[in-house]
Structure 1
């Protein structure tokens, strides 16, 4: 049985909150509220609105991964088939069902994660074949020396497209043992640290414009999260602990309460659609590359405590109604976005919350 399946069996109860049960309950509600059987597709709108709308492929990918983590074979097959509605003739997943060249590399990397999970769990060889072709496409968007373009043949190299492409590579390596994928992932990590790390706080800038060399100095948690995940896999797969220590340093920078990612009340200031990748990064560090000494164990307990604080804040304050999540409850309430007395939330906020509870269920 695959490690990621075994890990899902663990769960943690903190302050009465069972993360595994919370995750399972939320996924079932998401399926009930956003999946249309007659369309064989997700909708970005809650069914109560009765206005079907195809989500962008990014939302599809995050929702798809929540389903693969839920381990329901029929649902996995359904979401994989739905993803194919975005697959164009060049092997890319377009942003919409137009199947055109409106392609974002980071979105495609997330789709690849879903395909690898689906292959591991249901053994669908077509998933592996599509993922292999997609990885070849992604590698073709690497600039000289490392770094991956944000959109197809674009002028911007983003930290998120680079880190998510690297994570896609190590995830695919797990099922095909292609050494070139490890080489690709390590070159992306090297490029990020060499070109986009802020020496003042250790965090990662958003990206670089190729034509001018200008750096966008914005910082978001998702780049850190996917880098930590990738470095954790590289440590485990290569046996080289330097990647682990890079991940540890990066994570300590991200979790500085006086740093870029914190509100004054100690909560993270990024939206759910970004934050869930930091939760996943921490859980990958703890579960993929497991510590064996007390110093690391103590450090991990600090990480877990921080995750618990953030997750419980989300459960208590961003849950507008049972199994309905929004990033800003005040803005949502003022908008009057209700249907038959129930709040109408979006697909992405809910599947991101599900990913957060899944990450928590792994760090028992």
Structure 2
């Protein structure tokens, strides 16, 4: 197998997962067999639906053959909506469930706004605008909070998350381009989010973004997932695009450099430098890739010398590795892992041992393993894999 066209690979993945998971009679994604991301035997949490639906819309931007799928993909979200709060629950419900996560809903919102951008159908803009307004209500303005500011993770929890804060900022900046008379409101809110993110959660040493902090605490969770840096990079790059304030460019430059620094947290540093890779799952890496693509789009011409080429080189090698290690040639779908030893046994035996000198033993991550211990794919894996290639193709259109 040789990867040549990342966009085409993304297209094939969307076609494949749509055929496997979309049930036209039920108007939603249904798992043939319980798998990762199912909250019961066959239905998927809204996060998985958001990633898959975003992949459909990403693909429809490039391939008109996918445009007929967009209405069905976006309509699925209505099964998860709480019309009283205007947010979307983690599970399908009767309209009263309050298990609502702001980061999940930010990904729902991004899919809606991208659907408007791709199709021009104003109903998606209206849906996205309502959801943006709901998301902005998640800002922590509790006067008694030990940690001031930041976006809540969940409507009823006290955790302030970096992914929520950056993803909501990104939605605000997306919609600012579509509603000029409201743009300042959204841009100012996004700026408030990223100011908080950098002040409270950025590591001053490696420039990565830490995971979160409780509003009733000042103890920051030091885990630095790749998507936290990626979503913050997207938002900072968009802020520079909207404002031309050099402050946002400096922040974006630092984040872009950190994202491809093989010595940072989310690279597997058990290997020599030339073999290190992003070790997070694909559903995190897709947002890191989007951040790098947004950086090159909105800052690229003014980026530090040599940085765009370094980003291109790093993205290219990751796309190739993901394609060669995680694709199942039988059905064209992907595991969620980005770690080459956590793959199909035959791939491990015939490829990993040779290329990585048997550094690590074979295994499958729990989310990529069925009850029988065999590799198992899921909707999230399909959506995330398609987005890996669609977002990667914005940087590396051809291999």
Q: Same fold per TM (> 0.5)?
A: yes
Structure 2 counterpart of 1:251, from 243, 256, 260: 256
Check conservation: 1:320, 1:343, Cα contact below 8 A. Answer: no
Out of 281, 301, 305, which is 1:291 matched to? Answer: 301
What are the residue-to-residue correspondences of 1:160-239 with 2, within 5 Å? 160-177=163-180, 178=182, 179-239=184-244
For the structure 1 residues 160 and 284, does the alpha-carbon distance in structure 2 shift closer, same or farther, using more than 3 Å as the test?
A: same
Q: Where does residue 59 of structure 1 map in the other structure?
A: 48
Structure 2: distance between partners of 1:45 and 1:139:
37
CA distance in 2 between counterparts of 1:207 and 1:45 reads: 36
Aligned to 2:357: none
Query: Contact between 2:3 and 2:323, CA under 8 Å: does it hold in 1?
Result: no
- Would the aligned equivalents of 1:46 and 1:345 in 2 still touch at CA under 8 Å? no
Shift >6 Å, 4+ stretches: 333-336
Mapped contact 1:68–1:118 kept (Cα < 8 A)? yes
Q: How far off its partner does 1:288 sit?
A: 3.2
Aligned equivalent of 1:7: none
Q: Which of 377, 385, 390 is the matching residue for 1:345?
A: 377
Shift of 1:251: 2.1
Is 1:34–1:46's contact at 8 Å kept on the other side of the alignment? no
Q: How far off its partner does 1:126 sit? A: 2.5
Q: Quick one: structure 1 residues 301 and 47, their matched pair in 2 at CA, closer, same or farther if it must change by over 3 Å?
A: same
- TM-score w.r.t. length of structure 2: 0.81
| Distance change (3 Å), C-alpha of 1:154 and 1:291 | same
Instruction: State the Cα RMSD in Å.
Output: 2.4
Equivalent positions of 1:1-364 (< 5 A) are: 16-45=3-32, 53-71=42-60, 72-89=66-83, 90-98=85-93, 99=95, 100-144=97-141, 146-177=149-180, 178=182, 179-263=184-268, 264=271, 265-291=275-301, 295-296=304-305, 298-321=306-329, 322-326=331-335, 327=337, 328-329=342-343, 330-332=362-364, 337=370, 344-363=376-395, 364=397
Residue by residue over 1:235-269, the C-alpha shift from the partner in whole angstroms, topping out at 9 and shown as x without a partner, is 11222233122111112123221210111231111
1:53-109 C-alpha deviation (Å, 9 max, x unpaired) = 221000111111101111132200001111111111221011000241000000000
Secondary structure of 1:291's counterpart equals: helix
* Distance apart, 1:52 and its partner CA: 6.8
Q: Provide the secondary structure at the position in 2 that maps to 1:324.
A: coil
- Is the Cα contact below 8 Å between 2:226 and 2:280 reproduced in 1? yes
TM-score (norm 1): 0.88
Note closer, same or farther for the CA distance 1:343–1:130 as it changes in structure 2 (3 Å cut).
Answer: same
User: Structure 2 regions of 5+ residues with no counterpart?
Assistant: 61-65, 142-147, 344-361
